[in-house]
């Protein structure tokens, strides 16, 4: 089971999140209303306690109101800037810097939640582990910049085949991972084969070179025999190893046979 411990937000961050949630305009109107109420209250106190005229009291209240408004506006703009900074920091913590998809930690967090849901309600689900074939060789021959560009383009092509509900992440150096919810074994194999075909459909252009790129895909299905998300990961890794040993540029499933809600073997087709 994947768990994470997050530090509670500080007061300034909580204030910034509140301002971001209600909007800068609404927060400004609320701050102005509070400041006006305070100014009127100060004026009333001067009239009641000091016997000052209402004109003098209101003037004193306005003079007290102006610096409060200035400080309030500055505080709101600082809160907005802090909220934006916090969002960017959270995005960096969740996204892979190169590809822009979920990083490994965030993928595992979301996939673990989806795996638990599949287990709880008996829904179908699967994980695909995708490895770019011979990416290290490409890095050695054409440079790391070429390898990075290929990884980015492979990620784009993989993403183009997925549904909005599917979870895509960078799992390792040359590996991507996908969690498919509401997907039976045959559907998972079809999704994996679409990815393989999409990547291999056309060469990648890098400067003056045309680079043929393929992927190997390991498929593992969620089933009742798994005691933790780690079991699904291990099965997808085993399936990917089988695909590599079969010559790469292919799709393979793990040797574990998923079981349906009745405890019976579910049909799995191995390419």
DSSP 33-93: HHHHHHHHHHHHHHHHHH---HHHHHHHHHHHHHHHHHHHHHHHHHHHHHHHHHHHHHHHH
Q: Is there a single domain that holds both residue 129 and residue 218?
A: yes
Same domain for 89 and 160, yes or no, is no
Considering the domain boundaries, does residue 234 fall inside one? yes
Give per-residue pLDDT as tens, 56-90.
655 555 656 666 666 555 655 565 555 555 455 44
Q: Which residues contact 29 (CB under 8 A, 6 or more apart)?
A: none
Are residue 131 and residue 31 in the same domain, yes or no?
no
Q: Is residue 262 part of a domain?
A: no
Same domain, 66 and 156: no
For residue 103, is it within any domain? no
Distance CA 57, CA 197 (A): 79
- Is 240 part of a structural domain of the chain? yes
Q: Which pLDDT tens digit goes with each residue over 111-135?
A: 999 999 999 999 999 999 999 999 9
Q: Number of folded domains in the chain? A: 2
Say if residue 138 is in the same domain as residue 241: yes
Nearest to 156 by CA among 114, 212, 71, 99: 99
183 and 240, same domain (yes or no): yes
Domain that holds residue 134: 124-253
Pairing status of strand 251-253 against strand 215-221: parallel
Q: Output the domain CATH number for residue 216.
A: 3.30.70.270
CA 54 to CA 111: how far, in whole Å?
66
Is residue 117 in a domain? no
Q: Is 236 exposed, middle or buried (0-12, 13-18, 19+ CB in 10 A)?
A: buried
Q: Is the domain of 83 the same as that of 130?
A: no
Which of 212, 92, 219 minimizes the C-alpha distance to 154? Answer: 212
Q: CA-based angle 146:152:158, to the nearest 5?
A: 130
Residues 141, 228 share a domain: yes
pTM metric for this prediction: 0.65
Query: What's residue 77's pLDDT?
Result: 58
Residues 131 and 75 in one domain: no
Tell me what pLDDT residue 23 has.
59
pLDDT given at position 62 = 61
Lowest-pLDDT range of 10-14, 174-178, 256-260, 261-265 = 261-265
Whether 206 is in a domain gets the answer yes
Among 41, 76, 94, the domain-final residue is 94
Q: Is residue 259 part of a domain?
A: no
Does 268 reside within a domain?
no
Is 22 a residue whose pLDDT tops 60?
A: no
178 and 81 in one domain?
no
Note whether 235 and 136 are same-domain residues. Answer: yes
- Tell me the DSSP string of 156-179: HHHHHTS-TT-EEEE-SSSEEEEE
- Give the pLDDT of residue 26: 60
One domain for residues 157 and 225: yes
């Amino acid at each position: 089971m994947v768990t994470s411990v997050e530090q509670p937000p500080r007061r300034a961050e909580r204030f910034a999140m509140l301002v971001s949630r209600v909007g800068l305009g609404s927060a400004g109107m609320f701050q102005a209303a509070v400041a006006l109420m305070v100014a009127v209250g100060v004026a009333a106190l001067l009239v009641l306690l000091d016997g000052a005229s209402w004109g003098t009291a209101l003037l004193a209240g306005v003079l007290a109101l102006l610096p409060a408004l200035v400080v309030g506006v500055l505080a709101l703009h600082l809160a907005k800037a802090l909220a934006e900074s916090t969002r960017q920091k959270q995005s960096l913590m969740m996204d892979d810097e190169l590809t822009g998809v979920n990083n490994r930690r965030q993928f595992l967090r979301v996939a673990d939640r989806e795996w638990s849901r599949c287990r709880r309600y008996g829904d179908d689900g699967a994980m695909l582990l995708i490895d770019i074939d011979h990416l290290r060789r490409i890095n050695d021959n054409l440079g790391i910049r070429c390898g990075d560009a290929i990884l980015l383009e492979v990620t784009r092509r993989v993403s183009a085949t997925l549904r909005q509900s599917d979870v895509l992440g960078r799992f390792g150096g040359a590996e991507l991972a996908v969690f498919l919810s509401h997907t039976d074994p045959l559907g998972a194999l079809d999704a994996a084969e679409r990815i393989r075909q999409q990547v291999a459909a056309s060469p990648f252009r890098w400067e003056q070179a045309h680079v043929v790129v393929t992927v190997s895909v390991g498929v593992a299905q969620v089933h009742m025999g798994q005691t933790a998300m780690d079991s699904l990961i291990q099965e997808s890794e085993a399936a990917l190893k089988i695909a590599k040993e079969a010559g790469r540029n292919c799709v393979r499933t793990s040797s574990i046979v998923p079981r349906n809600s009745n405890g019976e073997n579910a049909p799995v087709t191995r390419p």
